[in-house]
Structure 1
Amino acid sequence: MAHCSRTVADIKRSIRSGQYLNSKGTTEFYDCWAQTYEWDMMRIGYRPAHLAVDFLNANFCGRREEVQVLDVACGSGLVAKLMSELGFRHFVGVDGSKGMLDQAAGTGLYQDLRLALLGTEGLPAETGVFDVVILVSALSPGFAPVSVVRELCHASKPGGFICIAKGSYPGAEEEIYKKDLERELQLMEDEGLWSLVGIKPTDRYMENAFVTTEADGKDEQEERYIRGNVYLYKKSISTSI
């Protein structure tokens, strides 16, 4: 396959080139990247989908084959692939990239795929329908705004799970975004919209695309990886949203 000649350095340069584009540029970037996306991310130690699915599965009780899953920012379908291995069968996917949705369609796992750019368009999902709503790695400046988390909660059934994986990327804008996100997550809990099931931190969310040289010392070695968290919430039974 042609993309097998791409090195880790090539992949990291590609990721850096796509950071902080406007929404139109971001969708075009992912349209072009779609065919090699999963292979490329595997090469740089991309773990968020595995971390999120594992944490969700460890806390989920119920008949997985009956569960309705909303996979937000589904990309090429990696989350659905991992969840299907655990017995989940019913998936609706949402993504802002037509190229990514074409890849997701090729998995044969989704009953429906919907094109929508998070934050620019409303989340195309029915209210209170899904047993599980999962979003991996889309909460970041230039991608999905913090306000999207309320839409995730809105789509979940009362008592349903909302799983969010978020990397701690470098940069001042990212630091502001992270604080805003954590403030909103806590505010929604204070409002009684959902309750926190748990937070799973990791020191190796994925390799840091902004590190361009081989790490030699201990401190540099740590910088090779982006840290991150998986957040798992349960929607309140009594909430009306």
Structure 2
Amino acid sequence: MSKKQHKIIQDVYNATSDEQSAQAYDQWAHQYEQDVLSWGARFPFVAATVFARFVGLEQGKILDAGCGTGLQGELLHLCGYSDIVGIDMSEGMLSVARPKGIYSSLYPMTLGQELDFADDTFANAITTGTITPGHAPPHSFMEIIRVTRSQGKIIVNIRTDDDVDPAYPAALREYENSGLWKKIYQSEEYPAMPTGEPDILTTAYVYEVL
């Protein structure tokens, strides 16, 4: 990882406000995919594979929560999914995603805040590499659950290495214990970006909204 790339990562993880985080991602937007793919990013590919295993085609509208440049949405599109709606706090990231033409709609929204969608808007949802320190708070899952219909699947990818804030995996358990969703799948833990940040481990989950 170059010094410039290291600084970008530090700016993202050291952000202390939504404004700082959005600014960091705006600056990274046009280099983001090249960087994470050069670091061996596995998490979007694992998430797309898991999504395809549990969600059939033509089930309805899909929320890509924290869609960034559209890397995750592009993989879902290649798998045959359509009517994908993307949200992200970074206008810079959305400006990269928009020309791909893979989203039915793109909106500037911030995870951790109330989402501007009615209850049960989406048939299924996916959020990868987003609800993690420096990106979005643990309670962000609550709004994704709210806007996903009963029996809809939410594919989640979060860090699970020893350095992760325990509030994130705790949130997954909290919402399950509260009867909001139930876990139906958990992958093995794996390095998210083995050639760039080998110490960051992640796990994919599938939850069904109750």
TM-score (norm 2): 0.91
Q: Which runs of 5+ in 2 are unaligned?
A: none
CA distance in 2, matches of 1:131, 1:141: 27
Q: Which runs of 5+ in 1 are unaligned?
A: 1-6, 211-223, 237-241
**2:62–2:83 CA contact under 8 A, matched in 1:** yes
Counterpart among 44, 47, 61 of residue 68 in structure 1? 61
Note the C-alpha offset of 1:169. Answer: 5.8
Query: Corresponding residue for 2:13?
Result: 19
Counterpart among 88, 93, 99 of residue 100 in structure 1? 93
Query: Corresponding residue for 2:176?
Result: 189
Aligned length: 209
Query: Corresponding residue for 2:153?
Result: 161
CA distance in 2, matches of 1:235, 1:18: 30
Within a 5 Å distance, the mapping from 1:49-198 to structure 2 comes to 49-60=44-55, 62=56, 64-119=57-112, 121-168=113-160, 171=163, 174=164, 177=165, 179-198=166-185
**2:12–2:135 CA contact under 8 A, matched in 1:** no
Deviations 1:16-48 (A, max 9, x none): 233221221211111111111111110011111
CA distance in 2, matches of 1:35, 1:235: 35
**1:65–1:88 CA contact under 8 A, matched in 2:** yes
CA distance in 2, matches of 1:17, 1:185: 27
Note the C-alpha offset of 1:9. Answer: 5.3
SS of residue in 2 equivalent to 1:159: coil
Note the C-alpha offset of 1:168. Answer: 3.6
Q: Which moved more, 1:16-25 or 1:65-74?
A: 16-25
TM-score (norm 1): 0.80
Query: Corresponding residue for 2:189?
Result: 202
Q: Are 2:28 and 1:33 aligned?
A: yes
CA distance in 1, matches of 2:105, 2:173: 32
Note the C-alpha offset of 1:66. Answer: 4.5
How many percent identity over aligned positions? 25
